[in-house]
Amino acid sequence: MTNDECEKDNYEKICMQRFDKIDRTLEYISKRLFLGNGDAPIDVQIDRNTQFRAEHDKQTQTQGNRVWTAIIGIAIAVIGKLAYDLLSR
């Protein structure tokens, strides 16, 4: 075996090892994304996180609506009081 053939053989072995590793990694990712492999699939976990964020945003929005309702109520009361005082003179 010549030196070039030996280098080519080593190169092919290294490439095949790397391709095998990439293939195993892709297989693992595929199982986690689509099959779950006994654990919750990644997309289910993402859905849970999305659902939690949506519920949190809804609660925050509801609290914000209450604050704005209170502010508007106070503003209307103040304006009403000022209008009453002006009209009662």
* pLDDT greater than 80 at residue 58: no
**Exposure string over 10-37, b if 16+ CB within 10 A, otherwise e:** eeeeeeeeeeeeeeeeeeeeeebeeeee
Cα separation, 74 vs 80, whole angstroms: 10
What pLDDT, on a 0 to 100 scale, did the predictor assign at position 62? Answer: 76
Q: What are 20-53's pLDDT values in tens digits?
A: 888 888 887 777 666 655 555 555 556 666 777 7
pLDDT of residue 42: 58
Q: Bigger pLDDT: 42 or 17?
A: 17
Q: Which residue is it, tokens 């929005």?
A: 61
Q: What is the pTM of this model?
A: 0.37
